[in-house]
Chain A
Amino acid sequence: MSSENAIGRSIELDTKRSRLWRRKGADLLFAAAALAAMLAALIVLLALLGQLLFDGAGRLTWQFVTSFPSRFPEQAGIISAWMGTLLVMFLTALTAVPLGLGAAIYLEEYAPSNRLTDVIEINIANLAGVPSIVYGLMALGLLVYEFRLGQSFLTAGLTLAMLILPMVIIASREAIRAVPPQIREAAYALGATKWQTVKDHVLPYSMGGILTGLILALSRAVGETAPLITVGALSFIAFLPHPPIQSDPPFISFQWLFDPFTVMPIQMFNWVSRPQEAFHVNAAAAGLVLLGMTLLMNAAAIVIRNRFRKRVHW
């Protein structure tokens, strides 16, 4: 009788133990699956880099960087594309920084809680979700045809500035919000005005976060293609824009603002959509340059973020 009981108990114990093992096994399997998903994502990233390097590294010569596009793939290069990217980025930053920073400062430091503030906040959140090509359509209708800026550097820079504005505002607001209120109170206590407080205390302390967000936004803009195609980027530009600095008075020329433009991703898109394989090699080489630009910018953002995070202890 008692031995039967003991057997029953041990069977019960065995099933419990096996259930426990099964649960632990499932747990392990799940962890493995999750780890596999993560590795798969990273492997894809490596495959992408590998493919680009394998296809394009050989083509990445000095001649490639300093030549204009050509219908002969071996002679084609990217000088108009990377110059274009630099100029467009300059205009984008020049527009997006004051607007984005100004809006962020207003919303964090000045805005009363009223309906207008609510509308602005909701509006910025919504703008961040608008597909980039829609910005391109708006720029085509408004900047190109309504304001008659043409299919120019100016249009391209403004389009990308509008596109990254929500990102700049959101990142700057977070950085400004991270500055503790005691800093402001101390400044006010010494008789500083609101703007003095912002300019001399809040902004310097939040500069790390602001710069990080700005660089990330610009690195996104560097890779943007679709909105610039809609505003009429040309993919074959065998000349450079008018130089901004002249030898004759008035020395500075704004003629280049209205020149036709192209940028790196558009050059790459043009090459990749051609049937000839020789152009695909060029596309890969251009892709390497483009990827190099974005990776550098991302690395810079990470470095800045870490440096400022370490330095500031509230």
Chain B
Amino acid sequence: MDAEVAKSHVFEQARESLDVLVSRRKHKERAIELLLLGAAVTSIAITAGIVGVLAYESSLFFTQVSLFDFLTDRQWTPLFAEPHYGILPLISGTLVTTWVALLVAVPAGSLIAVYLSEYAPHSVREMVKPALELLSAVPTVVYGYFALLFVTPALQHIWPDLPGFNMLSAGLVIGIMIVPYVSSVSEDAMRAVPIHLREGAYALGSTRMQTALRVVFPSALSGIAAAYVLGVSRAIGETMVVAIAAGMQPTLTWNPLEPAATMTAYIVQVSLGDLPHGSIGYQTIFATGLTLLLMTLIFNIGGHVLRKRYRQIY
């Protein structure tokens, strides 16, 4: 009898210690989950920080400069004795360099993607893809050096009166830089096109080119469009190449052979100086940054919409 009691007692004790262990484990698990959730939520805090800071400093800016002036004034001279706060020159500079970059990156990136996905043997693809990725791994300041001291002098052989700072060479170099973004996303999209679509085309006597351009490319269009949009937003946000090679003079021009400042180059230029915190000059870089963020956001949303609208379901 005593033995029975003792046994059940031991049993009870073991159970209790197990309960303690399990509940301790539960608490630990819960704490870990909360920590991990915290890490995930940090990304939201970062976004809130970005939007909050840009909106706050810009709101201070817009109490002194009307939004109408900001959007319509044709001069951007915030640090002059007689300041003008028209964002248009910075926007034109940004759009021109982006446009030049896309003229390089879209055809080259698409051709490379078609080649890699439809023509290249496996071994070539395995070798070329990492090499292309190196193009996007090169630090942008090195690209700036290349644009200013290699591409511009080379272009000056063709146009002798091309200024030392110009949007053309900056745009060309950005274009080369974003080729891998365009080509690798497009290639993934084209490789996702099911093989039987190609086989159908070949069975009807199409050549590889006809299959690639009339069957595979249209079927992958949503993914390819997303690749282009990614390229656009990279080009808009690119900073060091334009700050080094395109000049820092805000000029309202659509001619890529001229020097001009982009939004990003202006922010760099001001940051290099010593502007007092809280001055209107300090606030202009946030207003510029907000404009930049809104532009990339518009393109990103556009890409999302395109992707949804043209999504193919096989």
Contact = CB atoms under 8 A, between A and B. Distances in A.
Interface stretch (A68-76, A178-186, A241-249, A284-292): A284-292
Contacts of B240: 225-226, 265, 269
Interface in B217-273: 230, 233, 236-240, 243-244, 264, 267-268, 271-272
B119 to A, nearest CB: 6
B145 A27 contact: no
| Contact residues of A: prevailing secondary structure | helix
Given A27-B207, A290-B142, A134 B176 contact: no
A26 B240 CA distance: 40
A175 B47 CA distance: 25
Nearest to B236: A131
B131 to A, nearest CB: 6
Question: Contact residue range for chain B?
Answer: 35 or more
A238 to B, nearest CB: 18
Interface stretch (A3-11, A95-103, A203-211): A95-103
B289 A133 contact: yes
Contacts of A290: 139, 141-142
A45 B134 contact: yes
A165 interface: yes
A142 B49 contact: yes
Nearest to B233: A129
B300 interface: yes
Contacts, number: 254
Given A120-B43, A126-B300, A133-B292, A272 B233 contact: no
Interface in A183-217: 193-195, 216
A252 interface: no
B88 interface: no
B3 to A, nearest CB: 31
Contact of A131 (B28, B33, B237): B237
| Contact residues of B: prevailing secondary structure | helix
A45 B271 contact: no
Given A34-B115, A106-B39, A131-B236, A272 B130 contact: no
Contact of A38 (B112, B130, B137, B176): B112
B300 A23 contact: no
Given A131-B292, A133-B268, A220-B137, 4 more contacts: A129-B233, A137-B53, A169-B43, A268-B145
Interface of A: 23-24, 26-27, 30-31, 33-35, 37-38, 40-42, 44-45, 47-48, 51-52, 55, 98-103, 105-107, 110-111, 119-120, 123-124, 126-127, 129-138, 140-142, 145, 162, 165-166, 169, 193-195, 216, 219-220, 222-226, 229-230, 232, 265, 268-269, 272-273, 280, 283-284, 287, 290-291, 294-295, 298, 302
8 contacts: A48-B150, A51-B150, A102-B35, A120-B43, A134-B50, A223-B140, A298-B133, A298-B137
